[in-house]
Amino acid sequence: MDTTRRLRPVGGMVNVSERPLPPLPRRTESVTQASDLISSPCRGFMMRDFRDAKAMAQTLREAIKPKAELTRSESLELIAKVLGCQNWNVLSAAVQSAGEPTRSSGREEVRLDAAILDRYVGFYELANQGVMTISRENGRLVSRLSGQPGVPLFAESSTRFFAKVVDAQISFVTDSSGEAQSLVLHQNGLVIPMPRIDADEARRIEQRLAEKLTSHRPSAGTEDALRRLIDGIRSGQPCYDEMTEALANATRQQLAKLHEEIGEAGAARSVEFVGVGNGGVDVYLVQHERRPLYWRIGLDGRGAISTAWVAPGL
């Protein structure tokens, strides 16, 4: 699970600033100003306090150590920008002021044998943008999204688990032998499927994400995809075939509001890449006819738009 507050979602085009995957503080803009189309799960599942951001920075330093050296302060500043904050001081203050996340209530934990839990241990792909690692520690499962601290999971049935630090659930899809083939994250009204992958593929995705975060280069196809997305929203007829299913569903739900807001901004006059943001998504400054907007966009392994959101500032 993501431990930073996010778009109105993972990672679809959902207004995630109102209900992200729990608390990472957004900037000071209002929800109506920042229509998060969809989100990448790395921005919002469960950051409890600034120490989680420090853990993410440490993970980043270790991940890129073979290819580059980052100081502690450099990694903290980078994580702050990845999470949408101007600098580390802003992120630290925002997270500390966010308070405790909503905790799951009304759910009762059941005990499962280690043999059942071990069927779920492994790696699951999040839209080619990150890896959800499920491990067994001290008799229960722990979920860990790329670059984030672990989140304990508590069983409520043989296939369904819930977190206590945030209102989120994970269910496992199994084959006839009981082995997990995929998992589904349920959070903030979103249903996010993640297929199971092997360790080699998980390492490739993690390495690609680490390299992307330090590359300062846009991914191939994101600018063209963004231009088509903006045109589609303005016309009221976005191309859902170019989106993941989750993002397409979220876009349909929010299309009326998005059409109005982007219509007010006007057509895109210029599109400028400004950096790499949360979860490795590309950040663009789009000069619309009547005002500039910052757009973030990410593609999955098939080239479909898996993450997209817009805000008046970084």
Give the three-state DSSP class for 197: strand
List, in order, residues 6 or more apart from 28 with CB less than 8 Å away: none
Position 132 confidence tier, pLDDT thresholds 50, 70, 90: very high
- Least confident residue range of 86-100, 163-177, 198-212, 284-298: 86-100
User: Mean pLDDT over all residues of the chain?
Assistant: 77
Q: 25-47 pLDDT, tens per residue?
A: 233 332 222 233 333 333 333 33
Element holding 194 (H helix, E strand): strand 190-197
Q: 47-65 pLDDT, tens per residue?
A: 334 545 676 677 667 766 6
- Between 234 and 167, residue with greater pLDDT: 234
The domain limits of the chain are: 114-203, 222-311
Q: Does domain 114-203 have CATH number 2.40.128.50?
A: yes
Q: Give dist(CA 111, CA 224) in Å, integer.
A: 50
pTM, whole model, 2 decimals? 0.58
Position 301 confidence tier, pLDDT thresholds 50, 70, 90: confident
Q: What is the gyration radius of the CA atoms in the chain, in angstroms?
A: 19
List, in order, residues 6 or more apart from 286 with CB less than 8 Å away: 226, 230, 268, 270, 271, 272, 292, 293, 294, 295
Q: Give dist(CA 293, CA 314) in Å, integer.
A: 9
